[in-house]
Structure 1
């Protein structure tokens, strides 16, 4: 059965369950998420006919997504589509004008942020902030397009007087992870939660006793299971923009929330450090 009671959380939960499905099952689930694909009166046989699959496979996919069956999945998706905050994201099309592209990209960004606002586990964000503030050393692990998110967090933390490191390659991550202790924290950013280069280092950090915080889009990823404090940032990848379109925006928003929560727990020190760091670079702004 689906754990979610808030109708606003149905679609992001489905997105984060999808990586655990087979390619065929993912294709079916992607259709479920298309606006107006499932109406209140849509039957399972109608869906099976449209997708050229068996009703039994539709039921199987529904259950793998966390529902009791197709009926509960359909009703849950319909309930979310009826909420005031629901605004389906639009795909970019080859014949879109520049005006249409800009409108879709910005609106999809707004939708993604609204979705994470309804979905975020505030208690987990607070726990992550506490762990980071107590850490002797902070390491920020990411590869590819997610690296810029860790670099952004490193910059923010330095502004309030907290030093952290962003190892630039697999060797540095593994070396850093090997000398961690239970006083250290590693924050890992990965959309899939399955990137080989990252997971080797995360396993090593875990073995060393470090606290692992993760930001990912995959409930069933190894990264989620290894994390002491998993933070989930669901976002639908757009084929043209790739996984680092709205997904990157949502993760940056999560980082901003984490940073602001940390700063609020040390107001005097944060204010003093902000003043110092601002003054230090003032002479560069002429």
Structure 2
């Protein structure tokens, strides 16, 4: 874990915390709640919890203790180039809504740029390139991300399947082998119907690549190559906004890496598919 990027790390670990622990972390993330000289005793008194619980929460978030978490958070939140994401307010004008949405999108993309693991992404690209068959599993809005990737790969001559229903995913998973790859896209990493297919694909021997926001989800644990796309849990501009944007950006990075590993074939097939669509350079 990159402790210099506490915000995305914290957001990806929060789903595994209890409600009490989550409320503590939400307080940590409030502007000006923590400062360099804030003591654990002071925070415990303000939140009416024990110092031991603060240490426990800090360790669940991947830090050695409260001080390391506090130092990492304050360093990021007080950085001169840090811009906090904004939430919509009921009386926001259209101009204010546009500004908030676009600035939050910029923040999300800047965050993923500093956070993404290039070695894991390159390994995922290699796995897809070497696979006998490629399957994409997702549910709900994440299916759009998979369909986007399917179309991108087809343009360079690579065929992938996107089963859109639970029974189709289960049938697909049952027929996979160690020569196949499954890319799973899930914000929560714990959608029940989706996980049934992932478990079966794993049992069949397929290599699992995942893109999720939940570091401790079963999906992350089952994945051979987990990729993380952190985003705000805020319902309007987070889960239903920047979460999709960050996943699409991750897919773009993965696609470009694949193209870069097979430049001649990719260029030839791009020209062929462009001509088929009647496009002109």
> Normalising by structure 1, what TM-score?
0.93
Shift of 1:36: 2.5
The within-5 A match list for 1:83-162 is 83-162=79-158
Q: Is the 8 A contact 1:137 1:185 kept in 2?
A: yes
Shift of 1:4: 2.5
User: 3-state SS of the aligned residue for 1:144?
Assistant: coil
**Residues in 2 aligned to 1:272 and 1:204: alpha-carbon distance in whole angstroms:** 36
**Residues in 2 aligned to 1:161 and 1:32: alpha-carbon distance in whole angstroms:** 48
Q: Is the 8 A contact 1:137 1:184 kept in 2?
A: yes
**Matching residue of 1:4:** 2
Shift of 1:219: 1.3
> Normalising by structure 2, what TM-score?
0.95
**Residues in 1 aligned to 2:198 and 2:235: alpha-carbon distance in whole angstroms:** 29
Q: Is the 8 A contact 2:87 2:237 kept in 1?
A: no
Q: Is the 8 A contact 1:85 1:114 kept in 2?
A: no
Shift of 1:108: 0.7
Confirm whether residue 62 of structure 1 aligns to residue 86 of structure 2.
no
Output the aligned Cα RMSD.
Answer: 1.6
Q: Is the 8 A contact 1:237 1:245 kept in 2?
A: no
Q: Which moved more, 1:29-38 or 1:166-175?
A: 29-38
Q: Which moved more, 1:170-179 or 1:62-71?
A: 62-71
**Matching residue of 1:193:** 189
Confirm whether residue 36 of structure 1 aligns to residue 32 of structure 2.
yes
Confirm whether residue 277 of structure 1 aligns to residue 273 of structure 2.
yes
Q: Is the 8 A contact 2:58 2:64 kept in 1?
A: yes
Confirm whether residue 239 of structure 1 aligns to residue 241 of structure 2.
no
Q: Which moved more, 1:79-88 or 1:251-260?
A: 79-88
Match of 1:224 among 220, 227, 237: 220
**Residues in 1 aligned to 2:22 and 2:65: alpha-carbon distance in whole angstroms:** 16
